[in-house]
Amino acid sequence: MHHAAASITGMGERTAERATGMNPKTEGGAGCLLAGLGATAAPLVWAPRAAVSIDGGFEGHARDLSVLFIDLPLIVLGGALVPLFAWALATRWVHRPWVAALVALATLALAVWGLTEWWTPRRQPDPGYGPGI
């Protein structure tokens, strides 16, 4: 009985390997690599836009540290999960690892572009810089 269960388990792994062309461990490693790339790229793109809220501008009047406690964790989490989910879906539909990697990278690029277009930190006007005389 044990020998039959082992052969069924081995057959499932070989079938998965044949379907995607990758070893399941390699497939998981590639997904983790893409998630790490996304978790690194998203905050690097986000950080220059959030710098104004962190240092506060003139005399720190516009300091908003919620960008560190709320926005940063969400940016890192989204940056990790978006390419990971795209990779998982693409490997199930396409069965070609290089196409799945391209889909995941394209999805990450679109997500980062969407982040830069949509997310803008709150900026208050500088004191003393009015419309003029």
- pLDDT tens track for 57-85: 666 666 778 888 988 999 999 999 999 99
> Is 83 part of a structural domain of the chain?
yes
**65 HSE (CA, 13 A, CB side):** 1
> Is 129 part of a structural domain of the chain?
no
* Structural domain count of the chain: 1
> Is 50 part of a structural domain of the chain?
no
> Is 132 part of a structural domain of the chain?
no
Cα–Cα distance, 122 to 1 (Å, whole number)? 65
pLDDT score of 76: 93
Tokens of 118: 């949509």
> Is 105 part of a structural domain of the chain?
yes
pLDDT score of 15: 47
C-alpha closest to that of 111 among 18, 7, 39: 39
> Is 23 part of a structural domain of the chain?
no
Q: Kindly indicate the confidence band of residue 109, based on its pLDDT and cuts at 50, 70 and 90.
A: very high
Considering the entire predicted model, what is its pTM? 0.66
Higher pLDDT, 56 or 117: 117
Predicted confidence (pLDDT) at residue 117 exceeds the cutoff of 70: yes
* Domain, as residue range, for 102: 63-120
Cα–Cα distance, 15 to 21 (Å, whole number)? 10
